[in-house]
Structures are given as structure tokens and as C-alpha cells.
Amino acid sequence: MSVSPFAAKLGSNYVPCDEELEQLRAYIREPLCRLAALEDRMAALRAQLDLLTSQRDALKATIDEHKALLSPMRRVPEDILREVFEYCLAAEPVVLIDARRAPMLLTHVCAHWRHLAHAMPSLWGAVHIPGSTFSQPGGIGGMLKFNSAIVGGWLARTKDTTQPMSLSMSFRSLNQTLGIVLQDTFPRLRRLELTLESGDNLYMQPFLRQKPKDLPRLEVLKIDSKEDSGPHFWPGVELLSLPTLRSVSLRIRVDPMRLPLPWNDLLELNLRCFFSATTMPAVFVGGLSVADSLDVVRRCPRLRKCSFQITRGGQFQQRPAVHTTELRDLALSDAIFLPQFLERLDAPSLERLELAPKAGRENDDRIAFLRALQPHTAHLTAVDFVVTLFNTQTLTALLSMVPLLRCLTLRAGQANPDGVISREEILDNSVLGSLTPMAFSDASVYCPFLTHVEFFSCAMFSDWKLLEFIRARMTSQAATLPMLCSVVVCFERPRYKDILPAVADHMKAGLKLRLEYTQAVVWRYDPRAGLCEL
């Protein structure tokens, strides 16, 4: 192609005259013909390529079908498959009725897997049955059809066995048919979870009225209902008095001290008890106070794990000291009077402690709190605290008191009534420095066995200090210092230094590191700023 007479004007805003227009048309006439010829050749080649591609795909499909017969998975013995199927189950105590998850997913692979899965009662021994509402497609009729077709078939696979059952149910309406379907499973129920999404607590009546002879194996019970049925409803529920219960979790409106629980035999207890209305206007009863929580622990001599949400305030009512040798795990949320509670609790075997104060009561008396906490620190291996329970000095002092600590979790407090979260600088460079080993191996360091660290929205130290901490813990020559397993830090600031490349080798060696930052506030020009909008 010859040199264009318009080469100097290409790519410019030049406007050709009439004579130049004819020259332009004449110049591109021959290139247009050549372009059409090239496109014809390309179309022919595409047709040939499409033909070859279709032949290739057909041949590959035949080969893949034959190669599938060679798959080692087809020759895996059934006992190995059974182990694989068991491993596929989720870690949750109940299983969802979901075709995208085991065990239902396993039945969709092939006929052999389906028959094998159906023949394994252990895969179908736990199930969550969701509630329904008239606003959903199908309404109550669709729900009953679902229960009979799916739930009935699910439960039937364990009917003729002694397989213990774990059942989770949510309610939005009364369903007598479901109670009939589940009646055969009651003698085998080991775990029962009931959730009232909306409506009346009487919807759960087929379960709440069960007697010890009806549920002889029930050990774990969870009930979640925000409905207020009056102060006398839950104390009269026979289900709560089963002597076989060992683990109970309740989020209901009741005075927990009136519940007919088998207190002496409980091993785990989780209470979220709220006020209940009475027949008198503006008079409420129930809820759990700090003093009540001490009484609950006193009632449960075998209690190993307990979690209480403090829902009733007022003045602290004096209680005698509580001695419990079995308690290993204690959690208090929305708590007030923490020093008074800790001073009256004697739990020499306590290993895990979680404390979250009521919003606005975090820093009532930090010195008194630390003094009350000290007797419980000797054997602690895991703590989860709201950081505003401390200042920098008392937090550092706490870290010096927990020589066996392995898991350290600190988090920001709740927002106050005005929606403001305290951002006091507590967890700063000096605190993290106390956890950072020195260069020489015989240097003392707080929490020498620390392996898991989580700081949520309370970290005030720098990226450089965090990098120093991780490096020192991962490369320490001291024989007593294990390497970190997991570090999670959520900053309430932008990132100033990317430390991931510097710790990449440690992450390859097994360190799980998750860092989160907020976006930097960038100034943007607004031409309408200050413009009168009247």
C-alpha cells in the first residue's frame, strides 16, 4: 500500500475540501477490496475451525465417558465411602434440609451413593425444620406438604434404629400434623432446639408438654422466644423439668429463679432471660441480675460452662461467696457490678473467661475490677474482654497475671445511648510491646504460650509494631514460646504499611493472618459547597 498523501493530516482535526474528498475515496477503494477478501478467507477458516472443534468435542466426550469408568472413586470400598460421608457433615449439631449440602447433596451424585447414604442412619440423625408463614408461596398447605414429603422421609431413615436424634424447629404457626410426624422421634431425641419466630408460645405446646417418659434421652435443650406469655407460663412448662437435661440454653421472658430446671445435674447453662409483664399496669417481673447469677451458680454444683446476660439492674444485693470446683468456662454480657460478682465467686478451675459490661458502665472502677479479677487469672487459658474495662496500665498488669494464656480476644465496647463508641487509646504500642519477645531468648515476656490473638475495633498500635510482634513470636529462639497460629486485627483506621509481604513466609508455614482497615477519608472538591439552598 502506497504512502498516503494525507499522512501528515491523519489523527488531526483537519477538514478536507471537496477535491480532497474525491482523492480520499479513490485512495481507500483498493484497500476496501482487500479487506473484503481477507474477511472472506477468515470466515472460511472459522467454518473449518468450527468443524474441527465439533469433531474434537465429540471425540473428547467419548474419551471422557470411558475415562470415567477408570476413576479410582468407583472402586473405593463402601466402608471408606461411609467415612467420607460422615466427614462431609457440617460441624453444626443440626443439619439443614438443603440440596446443596450434605447429606442431601450426596444423594444426587449417583444411584450407588444415594442408596448408600439412605442406608446410613447416622447421616439423618440431625435436622433443622424451618417454619412457614401464610405470606410465603404455598402458605400452610405448602408447609404441610413439605413436612410430609421431605421431613417424613428424612426421619424414616432412622425410624427402626436406636440412633439418637438432634432436632431444631422454628415456629410461625400452629402445626398439629408436624407433631404427629415427629411423635416417633421423641424417645430418641438427645438434642432439641425450639425457636418461635412469631406468634404465640402455645405453637410449641406439642413439645413443651412432654414428660420425662416421653423424652427419656433428652440432654440438650435450647428455647428461643421473645413472646411474653406472662410470668407463670415458663415455670409451668414440664419440658424444663426433665431429669436427663445436662445442657440448657434459654432466651425467654421469665424469672429464671422460678424455672423447674434440674439444677443439680446441669453441666452447661446459657440464660438470656428478660422481663415479663404482669396483670398490673407498668409492673414487670423477671430478668436476671448479677446477684441472681451468683445464686444460679450456687444451685449448679456440677456446672462446667455458663453464659449469662444481665438483664436486670438496680442496686447490688449482697450474696455469700459461691465455691464451684467444676466451672471451666464463664461468660457475662451486659454486666454491671463486675467487681462484686468476681469477689464472691471462687472458681479455682476456671480456664476461659468472657466479660462484656453494660454500655456506659465499662470504666466504673478499673482498679477494683483488676483487683477482683486477679484471683481468677492463675489458670486462665482464654479470655475475651471488652477493652474499656481497662486502661493501658491495668491491661498490661492483667497480661502479667495470665502466664498460661493461649487465646487473647479484646474488642471495642458497645455504643452508648447517643450511638458513640469509646475510642480511648488503651491497646497501644506499649501493651503490644509487653507481648513481644526480645531479641535474646532468655528475655521475659507476658503470656509466653500465646497462640491466638484477636483484636476487634480496639487496636491503637501501629502496623510496624504489629509486624515486630508477629516476627518476634514466629522466630523466637526460646524453647517455651510456641509460634502463633492465628492473628486477627480489625483497625478503625486506614492502613499505613502493608505488612503482608513481610510475613508471607510465616503464612506459608501455617500462620492465619486477617487484617481489616477502614477506608481513608479523602477530601473531594464540591463546587456546590456553601451554596445557599433557600
In the chain, which stretches have pLDDT less than 70? 1, 131-149, 173-181, 277-284, 360-364, 415-423, 439-443, 479, 520-522, 534
pLDDT in tens, 113-169: 999 999 999 899 888 887 654 334 444 444 445 556 678 788 888 887 888 889 888
Q: How far apart are CA 398 and CA 409, in angstroms?
A: 13
pLDDT in tens, 71-111: 888 889 999 999 999 999 877 777 888 888 899 999 999 89
Torsion, Cα 29 32 33 35, to 10 degrees, reads: 160
pLDDT for 401: 94
What is the model's pLDDT at position 307?
A: 96
- Give the pLDDT of residue 61: 95
Q: What is the pLDDT of residue 417?
A: 57
pLDDT in tens, 411-434: 998 766 555 566 678 899 999 999
Supply the pLDDT for residue 207: 86
Residue 372 to residue 218: CA distance in whole angstroms: 38
HSE-up of residue 300 (Cα within 13 Å, Cβ side) = 28
Three-state DSSP class for 384?
strand
3 state DSSP class of 268 = strand
pTM: 0.80
Predicted pLDDT at 456: 94
**What cell does 67 get?**
475415562
First-residue to last-residue Cα distance in the chain: 67
At residue 196, the pLDDT reads 87
- Give percent of the chain with pLDDT exceeding 70: 88
